[in-house]
Amino acid sequence: MSTEQHVVSNAIAIYPKIDRTYRFDTAENRSVPCDPLDDGAEYTLQFKADEGTAKALYTYMKTLYNEKKKSNWPDIKNPFKRTEDGMFQYKASLKGAYNGEKTNKPAQYDAKTQKLPDDFQLTSDSVINIAVVGVPYSASMGAGVSLRLRGVQVIKLAERQSVSPFSSTDGFDVNESNPFVQSASASTSAADDLDGFDEPAEEPVIEEPTKVVKKSSPPPAESEDLSAIIDNWDD
């Protein structure tokens, strides 16, 4: 049986959890960090790829399956899920341990093949190359080829997005309450008002103002003495 690894090129990462092992917590209904020896502990990476890349991966998986296939095994079916944007989604993973022995953590590299720090956290929507090894299986839960994650090369790291823990509801809307947010129609109207902005208007003729000579007030009569001014202060 072939054990050659396959590289999925220019895939898009979806909810990667490969910086450490995680397990699904039914009480919290989400994946939580855990020890590699815990039940259900694994490194997981969902991804999506274009049609050509997905077909190449499926060919690799089907070849492995047919090499391993026993007489009572069913034929392999296309395991990919088609996304709304026309791409194909699948998953690669690696258990935290096999038979009580911890596995080697999937290595992560940058585009120049330099190894990234051990605590590096890959982000969703990052463009990556994924090294996997296929493992054919047939059991009561179904048949197919699982992809064991060997390593990831980060081609383009996406910015980390914060996710709100709440769902949308009626109430305060920052856009509706913000007086500085303009609607598209208002912006268009304002732009229309600027038509002809580059055409200078005729300069108005400004007449030179006539100089007016202000007559000075006559000096106060010298007959008014200081004692009279003081007497009028109290009136």
Q: What's the CATH number where 41 sits? A: 2.40.50.140
The reply to whether 190 falls in a domain is: no
- Residue 223 CA, distance from chain mean position: 91
Q: Answer yes or no: is 182 within a domain.
A: no
C-beta separation of 22 from 31 below 8 A: yes
Expressed as residue numbers, the domain containing 117 is: 6-156
Q: Is 223 within the bounds of a domain? A: no
At 190-200, the pLDDT tens digits run: 445 545 445 55
pLDDT of residue 122: 97
The better pLDDT of the pair 230, 71 is held by 71
Query: Which one has a higher pLDDT value, 172 or 28?
Result: 28
In whole angstroms, give the CA distance from residue 37 to residue 188: 61
Q: Are 90 and 44 in contact (CB under 8 A)?
A: no
- Nearest to 20, CA basis, from 6, 37, 4, 3: 37
Residue 179 located in a structural domain: no
Domain presence at residue 215: no
pLDDT for residue 99: 92
Total-model pTM:
0.68
What is the domain count for the chain?
A: 1
Say if residue 138's pLDDT is above 50.
yes
